[in-house]
Amino acid sequence: MDALALEAKGAKSESAAAPAAPKPRPKPPQKAKRIVYFEVEILDVKTREKLLLLDKVEPTATILDIKSLFHKSKNINRCVILLISEGKPLRDEEILQELPVGTTATFYFRDLGAQIAWGTVFLIECIGPLVIYLLFYFRLPLIYAPKYEFTASKHLVVHIACVCHSFHYMKRILETLFVHRFSHGTMPFRNIFKICSYYWCSAAWMAYYINHPLYTPPYYGEKQVKAALGIFLFCQLGSFSIHMALRNLKLPGCKTKKIPYPTKNPFTWIFALVSCPNYTYEMGSWLGFTLMTQCVPVLFFTVVGFVQMTVWAKGKHRSYLKEFKQYPTLRSPILPFIL
């Protein structure tokens, strides 16, 4: 018993003599990252007058944020911000710290004047030709001679042309309401008069001759009308397919651009060869309408429209090549391998 007591006592004394384990040192608190704020100065592009000085602007602020701070009580769509006075407007999604400016940045302001939504422009632009054409088709008073008032043409092609023309613009109205997603929210209000004058006057010019009592059918008769109708309907389906494909390319409110590619829909396979097949199909529709009616005003409208759409398509094609390094080189702006 004495031996066991001594052994236990020795073990107890040894454990008491052993040094205690050192406690881990607490980690020093991490220093908060220092945010470098920007100072943004906005000058009038014409007078160089200082309009506003924004202090402590966050580096992650976008151009849209700056425009919102600048125009709290006005429509920000009517103003653009420029990096240099003669340069192009900066996009709303561009970030302040990614621009070639220092922490003290100078921008220029340009007022675009009164604006109107693109959707509204498209509706006004399309409703006009739709209504105007029908006025001539039903031969309302003061258009033709009194004896032809409210009479109907004896030629089947006249009635088919009216259905096709109305279908085209009704389709565009429905696409504007339910399909299109516009990259730019507004356009200058003054432009609507120029756009509507062109479309409305062209519709009246075409309708006057197609629905005229002395109108003569196409040279090759029914065969020409059927072939042209086939071209028109094919291109209308193609146009709708392209607009749906472009709609599905980006989510609502997203301004990130993507390269459009062919889908399972055969009408979209033209994307393999053309950057803007919506213009290609639009041109094809009016070419079919021209062959169907064999009318000079329709031909003129088709040619002028093709020239304008070619300009738009080339601009879009250049934009694709500039923004995407891997953009397919086989594509042409509007006509495969040609233009």
Contacts of residue 158, defined as CB under 8 A and 6 or more positions apart, other chains included, come to 137, 210, 211, 215
Would the pTM count as exceeding 0.75? yes
pLDDT-based confidence at 110, cuts 50/70/90? confident
Q: Which sign does the torsion angle of CA 41, 42, 45, 49 carry?
A: negative
Q: How much is the pLDDT for 73?
A: 44
Query: Is residue 14's pLDDT more than 60?
Result: no
Average pLDDT rounded to a whole number, residues 131-151: 95
What are 213-251's pLDDT values in tens digits?
999 999 999 999 999 999 999 999 999 999 999 998 877
Q: How much is the pLDDT for 49?
A: 80
How many angstroms separate the first and last alpha carbons of the chain?
111
Average per-residue pLDDT for the chain: 86
Beta pairing class for 104-111 and 79-82: antiparallel
Q: How much is the pLDDT for 4?
A: 46
Q: How much is the pLDDT for 238?
A: 97
What are 154-209's pLDDT values in tens digits?
999 999 999 999 999 999 999 999 998 887 678 888 889 999 999 999 999 999 99
What domains are defined for the chain? 38-113 (3.10.20.90), 115-215 (no CATH), 218-339 (no CATH)
Query: Is residue 292's pLDDT more than 50?
Result: yes
